[in-house]
Chain A
């Protein structure tokens, strides 16, 4: 899912515009698989782990089966938004929450993009 995400996101100006001014790196964990997402003014690049010593501003971690349900199209109730998973404890937000909240719309749109792939 994650490997071709930059292609999908960067070709979608309706997503890129929400990341304007964002120059940050964040980590997404799908179970044990790590993906380091680097955003340059809304354009996304993804590096696939495992990593030894890499920095990131915030991390979003969930089990692989949770992401699978999150990426269903359409997702079932309770699996359609990161905050739905957050309320149940199925996702963890770690690191600098300020950056996550500042770019929350972009992050939500990027991470939901595999649904339409």
Chain B
């Protein structure tokens, strides 16, 4: 029998019971999951001893996601993520947990919000890693169908996530990633996409990011069409000093759909941050 070194606990933050998993000791590394999913996407990073020997890896489930509770009264309102609420949540988690100048790594919506963190909280952070970062994605399909009484939300969200992955990623890990999407609560993926495709347009602001205060790494899978390499390159062109890498053969969920290939790209970045 194998027991993983990951430990999961609950923290009460902003009146919400929030689940987080962690492993390792050293520099805090806070990992942000994608829209409509949860922290299990980072299972391979949490299990990688070459990382956890010098990093305290922490992946929380946002409120409404995974094993975290929605706030009291959730049944009375639509969930809609906004830039302010997302950045506020991350910084409150960091403060409440007493994490000193952590590295923050986020994917997709997490890859977007690290750009906002770079603008507003650079001095409190050691480095930022954006996975599948884009400054904005125009709506190209009607996300309302992902939260419709006559469409099974789990099946529809899973099918959308399935296509965003690389056909070269291992079947087992791709279907694990789909499963997380199928377990999301009703309207949660759609609510996150409100930030990603409607409210969270950061294009006009990213030019002010100062990477000399907080380094910014951008890693993007070549098969992603939601935050495509072209979208990330548009960010890298505007942000002086941002270091961009295109990850061959990977899609929108690199850490979850093909952990081994992703770790090959992540380890040198974390090593560079550690040595800086």
Contacts and interface: CB of A to CB of B under 8 A. Distances in A.
B151 A77 contact: no
B150 A98 contact: yes
Interface in A68-117: 74-75, 77-78, 80-84, 86-87, 97-98, 101-102, 104-105, 108
Interface of A: 18, 74-75, 77-78, 80-84, 86-87, 97-98, 101-102, 104-105, 108
B44 interface: no
Nearest to B145: A101
A18 B152 CA distance: 12
Nearest to A73: B167
A80 B140 contact: no
A105 B162 contact: yes
A59 B214 CA distance: 49
Among the interface residues A74, A82, A105, which one has the most CB atoms of the partner chain B within 10 A? A105
Contact of A108 (B141, B152, B159): B159
Interface string B141-172: 11001101011100110111011101110000
Contacts of A80: 163, 166-167, 223
20 contacts: A74-B168, A78-B223, A80-B223, A83-B140, A83-B141, A83-B160, A83-B164, A84-B225, A86-B140, A86-B141, A87-B226, A97-B142, A98-B151, A101-B148, A101-B151, A101-B156, A102-B155, A104-B160, A105-B159, A108-B163
A contacts with B: majority SS? helix
Interface of B: 140-142, 145-146, 148, 150-152, 155-156, 158-160, 162-164, 166-168, 222-223, 225-226, 228
Contacts of A77: 166, 222-223, 225
Contacts of A87: 140, 225-226
A98 B225 CA distance: 23
A60 B156 CA distance: 17
Nearest to B226: A87
Contacts of B146: 101
A102 B156 contact: yes
